[in-house]
Chain A
Amino acid sequence: MGQGVHVQELPGIGKRYDIDLGRADQRVSVVVRSGGVRDLYVFTSTSADPTAVIELSEEQARKVGAVLSATFFEA
């Protein structure tokens, strides 16, 4: 995987991608389940327990991803 993304297999669930944002109080992990559902883990404190976990369907994940990567632009 690319720089700063750590991949962990989760047998029976899918794969987890831990994304390095370079800060302790801002961390993001994404779990891609084999069924297509994504769990977005957001850590806004240095605690190992996530601040928020959002479950996204494949369609929703695409939408969020498109906005984040700025490929989606509409006036």
Chain B
Amino acid sequence: MHVDLVGLGAAVLIAGLVARAGRRVGLPTVPCYMVIGILLGPGTPGPTLIEHPEDLAMLAALGLILLLFHLGVEFPVEQVLGSGRRLFIAAGCYIAMNVSAGLALGFALGWGTSEALVIGGALGISSSAIATKLLIELHRLTNAETPVVLGIIVIEDIFLAFYLALLSPVLSDSDSAAEILRDLAVSFGFLLLLFAVARYGARLVGALVGTREDELLAVLVIGLVVLVAGVSEEVGVSDAIGALLIGLVVSRTAVRERVERLVLPLRDVFAAVFFVSFGLSIDVGDLGSVAVPVAVAVCLTLIANVAGGVVAARLFGFNQRGAANIGLTILGRGEFSLILATLALGAGLDARIGPFVALYVLVLAILSPLLAANSHYLARIMPDALLRPGWRYVREETISTSCTHLDQIKITTTDVDVCPACVADGEQWVELRLCVTCGNVGCCDDSPARHASAHAAGTGHPIMQSLEDGEDWRWCFVDETLVRAPAGTPVEAGEK
């Protein structure tokens, strides 16, 4: 057997060094790995480190499997199910808009139906890794929209599982409609079987791989994962989805946290090989020929993302800044797009998908950190009509949930439609504010008497909300911040 250790070692080392340099300027790692693959591969003039990309096929396959397995293991099922209807609607709209934009482009390109389905997924599903790292780096973990952003990417991960199942008959070489239907039934049946195992058989699986020794746990788990992925491939479901589902199964066992910790470094290394290996398969000369479709795809994704951000912001009552932050943070595309492209190329679909997705991921990788960091410019020009008109004074402000007085929200509605103190004094008022602690109604700070502020100062009641039609913001006098209830709890939870 031919083993090209020098080529592999050098490629991975260089990819790691370049990714480290990229991280300094805020670039995500995945495209860095891919670029090194493109530059050092046989398809590009200049030095070629790896003559035969197929030598890496086994390691790259392992990378793909571990990426999806780890995703399954750390999948926060309870948190997603408990996150409420609004989040599902927001994520559903985001996914629907992005995937349909991708599908429309895919069909418009005329490369074929299967190709269009792959492009729909590659354009529609954003990279959880890129979005999560952006939130940490931009110091946005205390922002009100951050739990929504994280919730959307988690729901996108579920969607990915179903999309992979839907795609598997397309990616297998079935010709007739009956064959496609049979394949679809097999792949969804296999999905259901693994879901059932996740639900009822987790204890058995835990007993199979469970051991107190980390060494043996790692060996047993990797063996199980690769076996399940291989069997999935055999029955016509992709190895990717098998790996994802066995991850879900393992996540229900007692060894979950140890497996997560043990598999993480393995995943990072082999995933890097997978991304480099994807780059190797790209001929740099082909990138030019897909430049126009990629430019269109990037524009479509930008529009769909901002629209998705606006929908989410409307649902959760965020201002323009929140909408811009949501749309631009989940703009990055990465691992999932490359996985879909790899599956498509493996199934022998149109070879242009490779360079198309590579260039698309690369452009968005550079754009998304830049745009996300400068989201306030978008917030400035976003029309009020898209969101709630009550935010016009605070469109660029970050909204925080770090107000610690949310437990004092007790009263959120009232029948009072006058400022009683002003009525008593025979004064006029401009707008009305409700104290959510005791239900007192007072006039705003634009009114001469400023009874709402006076009430807060006198009683120490922290939060007031606007009683004007169409406005639904709250202000904490103590924290001097705009307040939203955290995602996951309904707005009226405190109502008594």
Contacts and interface: CB of A to CB of B under 8 A. Distances in A.
Interface size class of B (residues with CB under 8 A): 35 or more
B79 A11 contact: yes
B135 A8 contact: no
B150 A13 contact: yes
Given A11-B79, A16-B141, A41-B142, A24 B153 contact: no
Interface string A14-28: 001011101111010
Given A29-B142, A48-B143, A48-B399, A6 B150 contact: no
Contact of B404 (A6, A12, A39, A49): A6
Interface string B441-483: 0000000000000000000000000000000000000111110
Query: In the complex, which of the residues A9, A20, A47 has the most CB atoms of chain B within 10 Å of its own CB atom?
Result: A9
Contact of B401 (A8, A13, A53): A8
Contact of B135 (A13, A18, A19, A50): A13
Given A12-B132, A12-B154, A20-B405, A50 B479 contact: no
A39 B136 contact: yes
Main DSSP-derived SS at the A contact region: strand
Query: In the complex, which of the residues A20, A46, A48 has the most CB atoms of chain B within 10 Å of its own CB atom?
Result: A48
A6 B406 CA distance: 9
A5 B480 CA distance: 18
Given A8-B147, A9-B79, A18 B154 contact: no
Contact of A24 (B136, B141, B398, B480): B480
A46 to B, nearest CB: 4
Contacts of B153: 12
20 contacts: A6-B402, A6-B486, A9-B79, A10-B147, A11-B83, A11-B147, A12-B154, A13-B135, A13-B136, A16-B141, A16-B142, A18-B402, A19-B404, A27-B479, A46-B481, A48-B142, A48-B397, A48-B402, A48-B482, A50-B139
Which 8 residue pairs across A and B have the least CB separation, nearest first? A20-B404, A46-B480, A48-B400, A48-B398, A24-B480, A18-B402, A53-B139, A11-B76
